[in-house]
Amino acid sequence: MHFFRLKPCLLDYPMEFLHPCNWCHNLQESLLSSASGYSNYRGILNWCVVMLVLSNARLFLENIIKYGILVDPIQVVSLFLKDPYSWPAACLIIGLILHLFNLTSLLIFPSASVLTVTSITPVGGVLSLGTYTVLFLKLYSYMDSNKWCREIRQAKAKRMTRSYSSVNTNVSYPGNLTHRDMYYFIFAPTLCYQLNFPRSPRIRKRFLIRRLFEMLFLMQLLVGLIQQWMVPSVQNSMKPFQEMDFSRMVERLLKLAVPNHLIWLIFFYWFFHSSLNFVAELLQFGDREFYRDWWNSETVTYFWANWNIPVHKWCLRHFYKPMLRKGVNKFLAQTAVFLASAFFHEYLVSVPLKMFRLWAFMGMMAQVPLALFVSRFLNGNYGNAAVWISLIIGQPIAVLMYVHDYYVIHYGSTT
């Protein structure tokens, strides 16, 4: 019988139970019930991705129909060519070399207690300030780590070693105080210095080419999305802010949230995966943990500890743990870390814009009560949803605040 061919296992049952009428129902829960234990929602996840792509495609087509094609790579280049002081490359290289020379002088003459500071022409822009901030963090870690080594050496404790290549050739402090060591750390994709960096055995050319292609493609994509999608949305948001039309302000905020978040995600992949892996592969830097699974964050503190591993390691090693060793409790130490992070966020925004508004500072400090609220009242998927909402909505609020204030300061008198 056809029934027996489909159900050969039924031969183990008595004949009175083999009739089809007796095999129609079983004791079971619906799949969407929590008691069913069902967890394979891959199809629903794919549906969400498809709906998200279609929704963004509709918004993007609507943008093109309304504004036309606004992407202009020449405009980006002209921003640097109009004013020679807006082109940071030469000044940054000169500043980097001068800072390295100062550091070298300190290492050659360790008895010197004051580091000579060379006056360098200030260069506007986030790129310049970001580079100098990274350089400052690196130099601080270099100084702190060598200080620990010097203390260990003076105490005749265990000596630390460092491998310069894939061959296990070790050196001891102060043998690591060389130009080669210093330059390698300056260009390595890490903020924390140590005497023994893990090294990869070889440079993978295919991996390098893929990362380079991603860097070039995603950079063009970021510039295009900002010109085509972000700029018109921000410009159209000025009038509701001037008129204090709350409903339209919320509408513009939600409309800006989609492209802003998409650009942030692309930037994350471009910088933390493509760019840092490209540099690490060139230098055979073995530690490639530049991020962890922050997208699964169920608390705000987990997100901040896992989305930017180089900065997190620096804060943990040179700021958080030293405070704990001095007797500061964990909450105050965490608050101090957020305070320092808030300062640098505000510094990287206010100085290029030449205005002091504290929006970035307050946004970062607001993470402290938000972290307490989420960790105490929201768990699991609810906490993860709260983290995503804070990312999607929080950033556009800060963007609109700065753009509005910048517009009022520079163009308010002409309108």
CB atoms closer than 10 angstroms to residue 140: 15
Which contacts qualify for 345-352: CB closer than 8 Å, 24 or more apart? Answer: 347/129, 347/133, 348/126, 348/129, 348/130, 348/133, 349/126, 349/402, 351/124, 351/129, 352/124, 352/125, 352/126, 352/129
Structure token pair of residue 245: 């039309």
Helix pair angle (88-108, 179-187), 10° resolution: 140
Query: For 31, which DSSP code?
Result: T
Residue 413 φ then ψ, to 5°: -75, -15
What string of DSSP letters covers 287-351? ---S---GGG-SSHHHHHHHS-HHHHHHHIIIIIHHHHHTT--HHHHHHHHHHHHHHHHHHHHHH
| 2, 345, 404, 410: the active-site residue | 345
Short-list 136, 99, 133, CA closest to 116:
99
Residue with tokens 């056809």: 2
The CA R_g of the chain, rounded to the nearest whole Å, is 28
In the residue annotation, 25 being an active-site residue is answered as: no
How many CA atoms does the CB half-sphere of 346 hold within 13 Å? 17
Q: What angle do CA 279, 282, 287 make, to 5 degrees?
A: 65
Helix (H) or strand (E) holding 192: none
Residue with tokens 């990274």: 134
Q: What are the residue numbers of the active site? A: 345
